[in-house]
Chains A and B, each alone.
Chain A
Amino acid sequence: MNIIICENLSVAFSKTPVLKDLSFTVDEGDYLCIVGENGSGKSTLIKCLLGLIAPDTGHIVTEKSLFNHIGYLPQQTTIQKDFPATVFEVVLSGFLNDLNGRLFYTKAHKEKAKEMLSLFGISDIKNKSYRTLSGGQQQRVLLARAMCSTKRLLLLDEPEAGLDPLAVRDLYATLRKLNREHGITIIMVSHSLNEAVREANKVLHLGEDCSFFFGTSKEYEKSEFGKRFLGGQKND
């Protein structure tokens, strides 16, 4: 079942097209990987999906409830690196979209946040300060927070950035588990083509001059896009 339908999406910034006639669909339980060079419009697409920018033409169709319940994992900022907040404070802030005019988090929110901590194996560092954690632990905390604001869809923006190889492998394993065992739909922007394509079942490749490829991972490997980029990486 389609949960997101993106049709003929076009976005331009001061008359320079960033996305043009982009169409793709996301089904419940999909693991979609969005790849492409810098400046190919990945961040713009993410912003469209989050409803932060309205496309010039074309449209994105989703259920209304989905829009407000996307679990989003943005890129880490420099501000966060030395931010004084405990793991629990950060995870709990994932319920921000569930406050609905209330001023403070409820007991149920706190219980649910604790469940998320144990799901990601970070219960033991609940009261530790975020800034003292390793990159991999920080990413788990942000994932737990993202999972607080969603039951169905995770949107990740280059989650492997700045992680060491071991932490990256760990991250992929966690995402696989969320996707396969918990049925969470995942949309991930990624830089590491080979791993991402191996993990995902669908690939959206944004290329030069607003060209794009959308299809399953198997189709991607056989396509011109896939041959050029995956092949290129293997020779490195």
Chain B
Amino acid sequence: MTDIFNAFLSYSFLRNALIVGTLVSLCCALLGVSLVLKRYSMIGDGLSHVGFGAMSIALALNLAPLYVAIPVVIISAFLLLKINEKSRLFGDSAIALISTSSVAIGVMIVSMTKGMTTDISNYMFGSILVMTKADVILSIVLSLLVLVLFVLFYNRIFAITFDESFAKATGTNTNLFNSFIAILTAITIVLGMRMMGAMLISSLIIFPALSSLKVCKSFGAVIVLSAVISAISFICGLFMSFTLDSPTGATVVVSNLVVYLLFCLIAKIRKN
């Protein structure tokens, strides 16, 4: 076991994946609780698809993917939030429309310029090999920023998640904070999607929150447990993917799924 572990740590790309992935998982878990409770989890899914479109365009134009995707996804986050507010009834359809269109445009552009290469598959389902050193540093800085901002604004985020009208009535600028959460989510998703894949990154937002919602009774506990679950699931998933030689993104999702099922079981047993 220790041999495998040492072998694991001897690869620098695995070390990077471990650091960036754990940080991004933590960000996803914290933001995920708020998004899931506000019924905004589809936005996370929509954003990752938009991110895929943006990265394909960056690839076709030979630009740095992160620098193109982050602004594009932040703008889309605003857009999706507005759509969700304005048209409660068709909000989910609008999000589906935007995400599928982005994927379609992304696939078209890439197949016209470079052909369907492994790059595309990497973006769709993730790869831990694609990150450059600059990407790693940017990811670490940004995800630490997301974590710190979340902790600092924890009380306001709680109030807005629990009761937006109350927060608004007591003088909190809820639109500003919703946009703030959307920006943090956009950054987190772009950082995570290269490793996890555009199709799979939203699971990091949804699974840990849903698992801890099964057993916790306070908001604080949900936040802490989600963070712990997310980090542990990621590390286990990465380690498993190394030993089983399976794709990292998919393995991390499966590891999250196992945890979720476990918590469902715990909740069932507790109830009886």
Q: Are A96 and B218 in contact (CB under 8 A)?
A: no
Q: Are B217 and A84 in contact (CB under 8 A)?
A: yes
CB-CB under 8 A from B268, the residues of chain A are: none
> What 1/0 flags go to A88-101 for Cβ under 8 Å of B?
01100110110100
Q: Are B170 and A89 in contact (CB under 8 A)?
A: no
Interface size class on chain B is 20 to 34
**Of the 9-residue stretches B5-13, B60-68, B148-156, B248-256, which lies at the interface with chain A?**
B148-156
- In Å, the complex CA distance between A77 and B154 comes to 21
Q: Are B155 and A99 in contact (CB under 8 A)?
A: yes
Out of A72, A129, A132, name the residue touching B166 (CB < 8 Å).
A72
Residue A145 at the chain B interface, CB threshold 8 Å: yes
Tell me how many residues of A have a C-beta within 8 Å of chain B.
34
Which DSSP category, helix, strand, loop or mixed, fits chain A's interface?
Answer: mixed
- In Å, the complex CA distance between A72 and B213 comes to 28
> What 1/0 flags go to A123-134 for Cβ under 8 Å of B?
000011100100
Instruction: Name the distance in Å between A30's Cβ and chain B's nearest Cβ.
Output: 19
Which DSSP category, helix, strand, loop or mixed, fits chain B's interface?
Answer: helix
**Of the 9-residue stretches B23-31, B72-80, B123-131, B157-165, which lies at the interface with chain A?**
B157-165
- In Å, the complex CA distance between A84 and B267 comes to 14
> What 1/0 flags go to B197-218 for Cβ under 8 Å of A?
0000000000000000100111
- Report B130-157 residues with CB < 8 Å from chain A CB: 152-156
CB-CB under 8 A from B38, the residues of chain A are: 79
Residue B228 at the chain A interface, CB threshold 8 Å: no
Residue B97 at the chain A interface, CB threshold 8 Å: no
A-B contact pairs, 6 of them (CB 8 A): A68-B171, A72-B169, A77-B165, A86-B219, A105-B155, A132-B217
List chain B positions with a Cβ less than 8 A from chain A.
37-39, 152-156, 158-159, 162-163, 165-172, 213, 216-222
